[in-house]
Structure 1
Amino acid sequence: MAATDILPDKKYTASLQTEVDAAFLYERIAAAEEVPAIASMFRELGAIEHEHVTKMEAGLRSKGIAIALPPPSWRARMLDRIGKVFGYGYVIGVLLDTEKSITNAQLTQKEKSHIPISGDEANHVKILQTLLNNKSKVTGEHLSRIEGKHRTIGGNALRAAVLGANDGLVSNMSLVMGVAGATEGQSGVLLAGMAGLLAGALSMALGEWISVKSSQELYERQMALEMLEIETNPEGEKRELALIYMAKGIPEAQAHQMADAAIQDTEHAHEILVKEELGINAEELKGSAWEAAIASFILFAIGAILPVIPFFYTSGYAAIFQSLGFSAAGLFVIGAAITLFTGKSIWFSGFRQVLFGLAAAAITFGIGKLLGVSIAG
């Protein structure tokens, strides 16, 4: 580094890392995509991100700011691994959900620095908007595939996994520490911990089963009513289809022609009305309520077992401190996993989770201690 070089501000390195990660992930998605038109679109988005990286690096160096291109971050590599195992639908969701915020951040930074806006900042957003408006060579079938991946996978399963384990860990750790405070880690802690694990896991599983099942039943009823309306009042439904097309900016005459063609195929008309009028994604109805319930049970139990483990082989304050150690490690891992959604620092997110979790444990331990002394007295 030259003597005149200036160390980069954290905001520059963070922005550069974001662009590097986006380029890396777009390339990985393109490599895994089977449809050539969609793969080409993601390669183009990756090229745009590489262009942003090059321009940002050159701009910083012209100001004498020392900067080195970072490799893809831990978060980006982890998202790529998730994509390889579970499919890249969630990764696409992460990228699409952050594109506008990245563009806005770039524009704001340029305005503050009085740097002219070139128009390249929003290239990736423009490409996606063009695709969604069906003005490119990508077919409607391909667009539905992209939208389906985004909507159905979109991170919900991963969020549910992380949050389920977090709920199990924090709630059972608080219960275990409360009982340990009252008994000084002696009799009853293991029983209370296992009872809390089973009660919480069963409650989570039942709640998840009811949630998925009731949503499916509601949507199925709405879809059945929509099909009945098509069969009993095709003219009225045809007018609704035309209005939907016009709301998308299609000229009135063309919208009515498209509605006439669509209503000839009852299943196709039903699919359009279910998606556009009811806002129901049929893919979401394919999920199993039992699978969701079992997954919730297991994930809650994984988190809830950590603070209980030491009480299987020891007791007293040795078990209490080990329980806190196991719990703190679990909380840090959960906090690190949350960065997949937030993009925050692993250390910041991990230690924040540990701090909040241990604070809850300290409160319940203190309450248990007071109650134990009161009962003993």
Structure 2
Amino acid sequence: MHPPTVTEPTHDEAHGGALGERLNWLRAAVLGANDGIVSTAGLVVGVAGATDDRSALLTAGLAGLLAGSMSMAAGEYVSVSTQRDSEMAALALEKRELREQPDAELEELTDLLEERGLSRDVAREAAVQLTERDALRAHARVELGIDPDELTNPWHAAWASFLAFTAGALLPLLAMVLPPEDWRLPVTVGSVLVALACTGWSSARLGAAKPGRAVVRNVGGGAVAMGVTYAAGSLLGAAGV
């Protein structure tokens, strides 16, 4: 009996790393939107505790939105750039090792495939075929867990964080400045709590967890944040600060 030939998948179904990466992006988007909701809601509610001037509320909300979204984008760019640099350095090292000691690298790939449940003979044949096809790609995927064609892009991450935070921040900002004065606070608090319930549910479902606790944590944390900032704003407003 001949060992099975190792082939690449020919259809578009997401497998392994591709699916995991998509879920990570979705989770990051949900968390970015959640940060935008909570931070901007806390800011505008706090200012509302000190003043009912629409211009002051709009200015504070826009400043918080821009500062938060730029901070998120810059932080994500730096973080993902560091990750990409590490991935490229690992690939460069692997390429050098393949050039300088191909036999040892073939043995290492065989051992790694055997650890994944293949018999020694099948693992050896698979390692040979993968090495003949594309040695660097084989070692990158099996040994390093990296897809050379799907390296993380810092610009994509930065824009995703910027847009997610902005989308989340717009909700409490618009809820605070658009309604009549008497309705601003209840509309903002109500819409924010509903939005936080949705982001809590979404993050839990993406992580395959039960949504109940996540929703309670999210809503409770947002409520506490708004309560604290409103109390602080009210005290400062009463003191004439």
Tell me if both proteins adopt one fold, taking TM over 0.5 as the criterion.
yes
- For 2:199 and 2:125, how far apart are their aligned partners in 1? 53
Conserved 8 A contact 1:168-1:197: yes
- For 2:136 and 2:181, how far apart are their aligned partners in 1? 64
- For 2:121 and 2:16, how far apart are their aligned partners in 1? 27
Q: How does 1:181-192 map to 2 (within 5 A)?
A: 181-184=49-52, 188-192=56-60
Q: Does 1:271 align with 2:137?
A: yes
Letter of the structure 1 residue corresponding to residue 62 of structure 2: M
Give 5+ residue unaligned stretches, structure 2: none
- For 1:304 and 1:291, how far apart are their aligned partners in 2? 20
Partner of 2:8: 141
Q: How does 1:220-369 map to 2 (within 5 A)?
A: 220-252=88-120, 255-256=123-124, 258-260=126-128, 262-263=130-131, 265=132, 268-285=134-151, 287-313=152-178, 316-341=181-206, 342=208, 344=210, 350=215, 353-369=218-234
Task: Report the aligned-residue RMSD.
Answer: 3.2
In the TM superposition, residue 225 of structure 1 has moved relative to its aligned partner by 1.6
Conserved 8 A contact 2:58-2:177: yes
Q: Does 1:179 align with 2:39?
A: no
In the TM superposition, residue 212 of structure 1 has moved relative to its aligned partner by 2.4
Partner of 1:150: 19
- For 2:180 and 2:57, how far apart are their aligned partners in 1? 9
- For 2:237 and 2:25, how far apart are their aligned partners in 1? 41
In the TM superposition, residue 169 of structure 1 has moved relative to its aligned partner by 0.3
Letter of the structure 2 residue corresponding to residue 275 of structure 1: R
Q: Is the partner of 1:280 in helix, strand or coil?
A: coil
- For 2:119 and 2:6, how far apart are their aligned partners in 1? 20
**Structure 2 CA distance for partners of 1:300 and 1:239, relative to 1, 3 Å:** same
Letter of the structure 1 residue corresponding to residue 20 of structure 2: R
Give 5+ residue unaligned stretches, structure 1: 1-134
CA deviation string 1:134-191 (max 9, x = no partner):
x9x99753499633443332x2122122111111000110111112212255652211
Q: Is the partner of 1:332 in helix, strand or coil?
A: helix
In the TM superposition, residue 200 of structure 1 has moved relative to its aligned partner by 0.4
- For 2:17 and 2:84, how far apart are their aligned partners in 1? 17
Q: How many residues align?
A: 236
Match of 2:77 among 209, 215, 225: 209
CA deviation string 1:197-238 (max 9, x = no partner):
010011111222222222222211211221111112212222
Conserved 8 A contact 1:152-1:283: no
Conserved 8 A contact 2:57-2:177: no
- For 1:138 and 1:184, how far apart are their aligned partners in 2? 72
In the TM superposition, residue 356 of structure 1 has moved relative to its aligned partner by 3.0
Structure 1 length normalisation: TM-score? 0.54
Conserved 8 A contact 2:175-2:188: yes
CA deviation string 1:282-339 (max 9, x = no partner):
3541x54323222221211111111211444467553223322332332233234345
Conserved 8 A contact 2:43-2:60: yes
Structure 2 length normalisation: TM-score? 0.80
Q: Percent of pairs identical after alignment?
A: 35
Conserved 8 A contact 2:45-2:226: yes
Conserved 8 A contact 1:185-1:320: no
